[in-house]
Amino acid sequence: MSTASARRTNTSRAPSFPFDERDLDRFRELQQLSYACAQRVGDWLGPGITERQAAARLRRELVSEGVQDFFHVPFAWFGDRSAFRHFRTPLQFFPTGRRLEEGMPYVLDCAPVVDGYTADIGYAGKIGDNPIWEKIAFDLREYRELIVREVKARKPLAEVYASVDALIVRHGYDNRHRRYPGRVIGHQVTRMESRLPAGVTVFGFGARTLQTLGRELVSEPLHGRFPLWAGGRLSRHAPTPGLWAVEPHIGFRDVGVKFEELLVVTEDDAYWLDDDLPHVRRWEEGR
């Protein structure tokens, strides 16, 4: 479906951008904090450390910096689990006793909440040498550029998803974000307002998250939109103005690499909230 046809089939009025500059500053600060904590844990990682230890360390780092709640609890995936090999149920996403070994890739994922503001980030790394990881990590740059270019062009989200799939095929990699619940590559991020207690989690998600997401899953489809971004029918609409946590996750054999960061979508533009991030700096240094 073309952008024009998507607009014709969706007669609902698009919402206006819901945040001001102060809000964006708060989201940006929390995203920076999240990456800083993930980097500290990445620097601490070494052979013998387990996924559970890494996820617990990441949580402690975030809480020590004032994090009050979580969109979802911190995750850590080592080795072939960074590529979601043999994942069949959501329970397999939770950290395990898998230990890091020399040459292994890893992915850390966390989604802290402070004063209702949310960041959702993915930080990828490796222990020692891993040429396959190096190649995939550098190629991820093309996905970041592709996503913002096509969202800026107001292509339906399902079409952007298909473009990412096509690039994965051209590179000879595997789409690993298909393994996420709902096969999502991203989801909307709002400022959460809830009377539920902070810090309470249910099946890995914050209670406030589930309440907010539940409201959106009911209300957004009434306007021809959906808060989860995947490749199916529900994502065949123009990008909804707001913030989206976007996480292209690709793999080759037992190596998985991803980034996750916030994409700003306005009524007529799109841009990444911040370019001062570890994966962006790595690409710039690799020129």
Convert the pLDDT of each residue in 47-89 to its tens digit: 999 999 999 999 999 999 999 899 899 999 999 999 999 999 9
Residue 273: partners with Cβ closer than 8 Å, 6 or more residues away? 24, 27, 28, 31, 243, 261, 262, 263, 264
Instruction: Determine the average pLDDT of the residues in 236-254.
Output: 97
**What's the count of helices (H) and strands (E) in the chain, helices before strands?**
7, 14
pLDDT band at 215 (very low <50, low <70, confident <90, very high): low
Q: Which of 134-148, 160-174, 213-227, 242-256 has the lowest mean pLDDT?
A: 213-227
For position 39, which CATH number holds?
A: 3.90.230.10
pLDDT over 50 at 214, yes or no: yes
For residue 11, is it within any domain? no
pLDDT given at position 11:
40
Confidence bin at 90 (pLDDT 50/70/90) = confident
Determine the average pLDDT of the residues in 136-148.
Answer: 98
Tell me whether residue 7 is in a domain. no
Number of folded domains in the chain?
Answer: 1
Across the range 230-252, mean pLDDT stands at: 97
**E-state strands within the chain:** 69-78, 105-114, 117-118, 121-126, 174-175, 186-189, 201-202, 205-206, 228-229, 242-246, 249-252, 255-258, 261-265, 270-272
**What was the pLDDT predicted at 193?**
73
Whether the pLDDT of residue 219 is over 80: the answer is no
What's the pLDDT at 256? 98
User: Residue 208 — pLDDT band, cuts 50, 70, 90?
Assistant: low
Instruction: Give the residue-averaged pLDDT of 239-259.
Output: 97
Q: Is residue 134 in a domain?
A: yes
pLDDT at 4: 40
Does 61 map to a domain?
yes
pLDDT reported for residue 6: 40
| N-to-C CA span, the chain | 37
Residue 62 in any domain: the answer is yes
- What is the domain extent for residue 163? 17-285
State the average pLDDT over residues 153-172: 98
> Is there a contact between 264 and 195 (Cβ–Cβ < 8 Å)?
no
* Residue 40 in domain: yes
Give domain status of residue 6, yes or no: no
Please list, residue by residue across 242-276, b when 16 or more beta carbons sit within 10 angstroms of its beta carbon and e when fewer do.
bbbbbbbbbbbeebbbbbbbbbbbeeeebebbbee
Q: Average of pLDDT values for 101-112?
A: 97
What mean pLDDT comes out for the span 206-231? 70
Mean pLDDT over each residue of the chain, to the nearest integer: 90
Residue with tokens 């072939």: 80
Query: How confident is the model over 1-18, as pLDDT tens digits?
Result: 344 434 333 444 668 999
DSSP string covering 102-120: TT-EEEEEEEEEETTEE--
The answer as to whether 53 is a domain residue is yes
> What's 192's DSSP letter?
-
